[in-house]
Amino acid sequence: MFLTLFAALLAGPAAHAQSFQGTGTTSTSVAPSSPDYYTVQSGDTLWDISRTFLGNPEYWPRLWSINDYITNPHWIYPGNRIAFRLGTDIEPPQVSLESSAPAPIQSNLSFEYTDGECGSDVRFTATIPSTRFEARGFLADPDDVESFGTVYKAKTGHLWLSEGNLVYLKMDDADAFECGDTVSIFRETGKKVRDPRNRRTRYGSSYDVVAEARIVHRVDDILSAVIRTSYREAERGDMVGPLMPVHVEVEVREPTGTVSGHIVGRPSTEFELSATGETVFINVGRSDGVRVGDSFYVVMQRDEALGIEEDELLPEAVTGRVVVLRVDEYTSVAKVTDASRVIEDGLRVVQKLDQR
């Protein structure tokens, strides 16, 4: 009922008269004195209510605008009732908030005004204690990837393979392996990583380490192995290579140094934006003096209302921090440890802020 009713409220009295159906009869002139109610539940927002009853969360400003009792769109409380009164041909529909449970009142609050600090926009300087991070992704040119063979088949009937599954590895040189050897299982994610500022500059392909397996038997060129650790599902056809450490334990500190670069991509092909806890690739590496454990500020210079174009005349605004977990010659793998907004490819990473 509420979905139909909300749609009618937005469309106006005429549309409402045609679409609303009560208890088995259709009315074109329903008295507005009999309201319907929805009781606000814990965690409800106008966004949620609009999505549930209107089918579109973007309608919440309309719900707020015709509700004189909601002076702030964030101030709705469990127990409040939203009343919906049907309109007529001459009287528009009405929506109001009836408070059956009073809003919490805090009378002991005090406020103090302080002057802001002068200087560049610095944040995310606090030390994060030594933490175990997962760094599965890596960048490489396909011709440079060290691959021993592939996951040929498996004993299980499942398409996705995980810890405890027995898999059969078809290797280029099975004689080079012995029982007890451990290998990594990885795959190309299908994402070619290019410089977002210059698409002609390529950094290779993105790869994802999905599991580790221990070799337990050999028959001719086929090795039997048991997956002992899985980071995500492995599949037949995945590549097999040397054991690549996935977990790195580092302490995250305030960035120091003078290296700067850009975020050029991420292992995942499912998302175009990054947030705290996700992995990104940056275009500075060992040749630039970068080491595991180094951290960088993520900065931007733009007026977001005018688009995503950077303006070098603006000061650098810090929007996040990343810590380096894996270093190659010209690129590095980093984890986003802090973020005040979503982070996209092309944003600069710096160790030293512009002090203009």
User: Distance of CA 209 to CAs 188, 239, 267, 302, Å?
Assistant: 9, 9, 10, 36
pLDDT of amino acid 194: 82
- Integer Cα distance of 356 and 353 in angstroms: 9
Query: Same structural domain for residues 339 and 262?
Result: yes
DSSP string, 303-334: -GGG-S---TTSPPEEEEEEEEEEE-SS-EEE
Is 146 a domain residue? yes
Tokens 């606090």 correspond to 126
Dihedral Cα 281, 286, 289, 292, nearest 10 deg? 60
DSSP string, 2-55: HHHHHHHHHH-HHHHHHH-B-SS-B-SS--TTS-EEEEPPTT--HHHHHHHHHS
Contact 264, 282 (CB under 8 A): yes
The stretch 27-31 carries a mean pLDDT of: 39
| pLDDT for 265 beyond 80 | yes
Is 112 a domain residue? no
Query: Same structural domain for residues 143 and 240?
Result: yes
pLDDT tens-digit readout, 48-69: 766 666 555 655 555 555 555 5
| pLDDT for 15 beyond 60 | no
Residue (of 264, 259, 284, 285) closest to 274 by Cα position: 264
Range of the structural domain that residue 28 is part of: 2-99
Query: Same structural domain for residues 182 and 195?
Result: yes
- Summary mean pLDDT of the chain: 78
- What total of structural domains would you count in the chain? 3
- Give percent above pLDDT 70 in the chain: 68
Output the six-digit token pair for 255.
């960035």
| pLDDT for 162 beyond 90 | yes
Q: Helix 46-54 vs helix 2-11: angle between axes, to the nearest 10 degrees?
A: 100
Dihedral Cα 189, 194, 196, 197, nearest 10 deg? 180
93, HSE (Cβ side, Cα atoms, 13 Å): 26
Is 209 a domain residue? yes
Query: Same structural domain for residues 82 and 150?
Result: no
Query: Same structural domain for residues 82 and 34?
Result: yes
Query: Which is more confident, 64 or 165?
Result: 165
Query: Same structural domain for residues 269 and 214?
Result: no
Identity of the amino acid at 61: P
User: Distance of CA 351 to CAs 115, 126, 324, Å?
Assistant: 27, 15, 12
| pLDDT for 169 beyond 90 | yes
Query: Same structural domain for residues 239 and 261?
Result: no
User: Distance of CA 2 to CAs 101, 133, 324, Å?
Assistant: 22, 47, 51
Q: What is the CATH number of the domain that holds 219?
A: 2.40.30
| pLDDT for 30 beyond 50 | no
Burial class (CB in 10 A: 0-12, 13-18, 19+), 107: exposed
pLDDT tens-digit readout, 193-246: 888 777 788 888 999 999 999 999 999 889 999 999 999 999 999 999 999 989
- Integer Cα distance of 102 and 96 in angstroms: 15
pLDDT of amino acid 9: 41
Is 108 a domain residue? no
Terminal alpha carbon distance of the chain: 60
pLDDT bin (cut points 50, 70, 90) of residue 45 is: confident
Identity of the amino acid at 347: L
Q: Considering 79, 99, 119, which residue would you say is the last residue of a domain?
A: 99
Is 120 a domain residue? no
